[in-house]
Chain A
Amino acid sequence: MPETFYEVMRRQGITRRSFLKYCSLAAGALGLSPAFAPKIAHAMETKPRIPVLWLHGLECTCCSESFIRSAHPLAKDVILSMISLDYDDTIMAAAGDQAEAIIDETIEKYDGNFILAIEGNAPLNEDGMYCIIAGKPFVEQLVRVSQHAKAIISWGSCASWGCVQAARPNPTRATPTHKIPGIADKPIIKVPGCPPIAEVMTAVITYILTFEKLPSLDSQGRPKMFYSQRIHDKCYRRPHFDAGQFVEKFDDEGARKGYCLYKVGCKGPTTYNACSTVRWNGGLSFPIQAGHPCIGCSEDGFWDKGGFYDRLTDVHGFGIEANADEIGKTAAGIVAGAAAIHAGASVIKRIASKGDDA
């Protein structure tokens, strides 16, 4: 029987007071009323830790980096002890055969009861040769472990959507979790972002632990509590948007005054994430607050939509790479030109046929 979270935390020297503080914080992050804090505390005191196998495919490790920087000083300890992170090849001490043995052990001991967390994704071309873990293609490890897991968490935009390694023409055929052939038919929770916000990551795990169920997901598989609103819906620059006050260039008066970043390509209006509410680095700031437009890092395909600093995005295909207005103006121009020529020809024809009649 694994220890409970509370036992682990006390062993780590965390006071009961700090523990309760964390529980209130977690309730807040999950959008629950303060009445839920005792419930969370109770769950942590009594429930065994959930084993987690954290696999890494093609990635930059920014999800791990974000996760271990969760803002509340305790959060990272709590979370790292909360889930018994049995396998995480980036941060665990074990290596080589020893490390791989942990996977088999977890599968054996907790078959159907552990969570599979995936950071990064699997390349499928050349039989998966572009990402080798312990001498075998990563995709094989992923598929095998998924068959024994209770649920799957796709951390970040890599596991959720593909991200930059899947950018056109995607030479390695990097493929997000839910599109891997043979992946087990288990619930997949997508927690996109490049990286996802630390508090969002920890809160998702806290929720699963406390309520012993998966958070409710939107139509694209993202937890509703963090991904049901756009950056734009809660952006503090929104009054400038409604007023029609935009930054035109990064060094203009508007930029100094903190105008809306829409015209320099802000993707806030099309991006579902919690940045404008939870913010980053312990609520300190977020990209728009620092004067940079949102690049839409938690959205599918954000890496392949033309310039990050353009309002209108590019369309690919049929040998064109242009935005909607460029395509439309060309088409309308051709049609209008053709109509003008046709009108001219019609006039000539009419004069000519009048001539015939006469």
Chain B
Amino acid sequence: MVEEITARKEEAIFVYEWPVRVWHWVQVFAILALGITGYLIGSPLPSLSGEASDHFFFGTIRYIHFTAAWILIVGFVFRVYWAFVGNSHAREIFLPPVWRRRFWAGVWHEILWYAMIAKEPKKYTGHNPLAVLAMHVLYVWGTIFMIVTGLALYGEGEGMGSWQNEWFSSWVIPLFGQSQDVHTWHHIGMWVIVVFVIIHVYVAVREDIMSRQSIISSMISGWRMFKDDRPPDDEDLRLE
């Protein structure tokens, strides 16, 4: 028995396959670029002097926004595909098991842990249930929202007849009222993602130090290391 436990202590579990890791870091940079350029589209920098023909400054800012947008979109589509073909951890953020009581009990425990009421965190191979919930609601749906509203705005520039316009602008714009409202909501969507990122990065660092498993290095190497030898708590929460 004792032997078994020590054996387990050395064990690391492979959690994040390389496509998930590469995707994570690529979209970190895409979203960073989108956030900065998006903010500047809303509140441009002071004017440049000289002839208009000498510059393409604002055009470049928009160009970076659109390039990063395409990287984000292609990456996201790929990530959805990977949820189907990848391991069970690749599905976590898309399908939180909200129909299971254990999941909600996990969310509640996690809240108690962050409220510093629970003495000890639970141990997870995948994400903790609260993280899954936040990633699903704020990140997955937030990103879908940004892609849909973004493509609707993009379709306006492409003009009627373009696929972006037919598939997105034609219904998204009347849905929100008018183009100006789509701009406003796309802009608010950015702040939702900013809020997610602040929390996400903070807890990633915090849990790396305070939880019972490795966090940041897992998103780099793919391996989850454990700091103790008791069994993880999320064995039954994953969808095979």
Task: Identify the A interface with B (CB < 8 A).
Answer: 218-220, 224, 228-230, 233, 239-246, 248, 253-254, 259, 262-263, 267, 269-272, 296, 299-302, 305, 311-313, 315, 323-325, 327-329, 331-332, 335-336, 339, 342-343, 345-346, 349-350
Contact = CB atoms under 8 A, between A and B. Distances in A.
B202 interface: yes
Interface string B38-51: 01001111111100
Given A245-B47, A272-B179, A331-B191, 9 more contacts: A230-B156, A243-B55, A244-B57, A301-B180, A313-B184, A315-B188, A324-B188, A328-B191, A332-B195
A243 B116 contact: no
A243 B56 contact: yes
Contacts of A239: 52-53
Contacts of A233: 157, 159
B202 A299 contact: no
Interface of B: 39, 42-49, 52-59, 61, 114, 116, 156-157, 159-160, 170-171, 173-174, 177-181, 183-184, 187-188, 190-191, 194-195, 198-199, 202, 206, 209-210
B190 A328 contact: yes
Given A325-B43, A328-B194, A332-B191, A219 B174 contact: yes
Given A224-B160, A332-B198, A343-B202, A305 B180 contact: yes
A346 B205 CA distance: 12
Q: Which of A219, A243, A313, A346 has the most CB of B within 10 A?
A: A243
A343 B209 CA distance: 11
Given A244-B57, A335-B198, A328 B47 contact: no
Contacts of A329: 191
A267 B183 CA distance: 11
A244 B43 CA distance: 11
A332 B194 contact: yes
Given A263-B44, A301-B177, A324-B184, A245 B52 contact: yes
A243 B114 contact: no
Contact of A311 (B43, B181, B198, B199): B43
Contacts of B180: 267, 270, 296, 299, 301-302, 305, 313
23 contacts: A220-B173, A224-B160, A230-B179, A233-B157, A239-B52, A240-B52, A241-B58, A243-B52, A244-B48, A296-B178, A300-B177, A312-B42, A313-B184, A315-B188, A325-B39, A327-B191, A328-B187, A332-B195, A332-B198, A335-B198, A342-B114, A343-B206, A346-B206
Of B45, B54, B61, B181, chain A has the most CB atoms within 10 Å of the CB of B181
A259 B116 contact: no
Contacts of A299: 178-180
A228 B173 CA distance: 13
Contacts of A246: 44, 47
A34 B191 CA distance: 52
A270 B210 contact: no
Given A332-B194, A339-B202, A346-B116, A270 B48 contact: no
Contact of A243 (B43, B48, B160, B195): B48
Contact of A270 (B39, B56, B183): B183
Nearest to A349: B116
A162 to B, nearest CB: 12
Contact of A248 (B46, B53, B187, B210): B46
Contacts of A302: 178, 180
B162 to A, nearest CB: 12
A63 B205 CA distance: 62
A325 B43 CA distance: 9
Closest 9 CB pairs of A and B: A328-B191, A244-B57, A270-B179, A244-B58, A324-B187, A242-B59, A243-B55, A239-B52, A270-B180
Given A325-B43, A335-B199, A349-B116, A312 B184 contact: yes
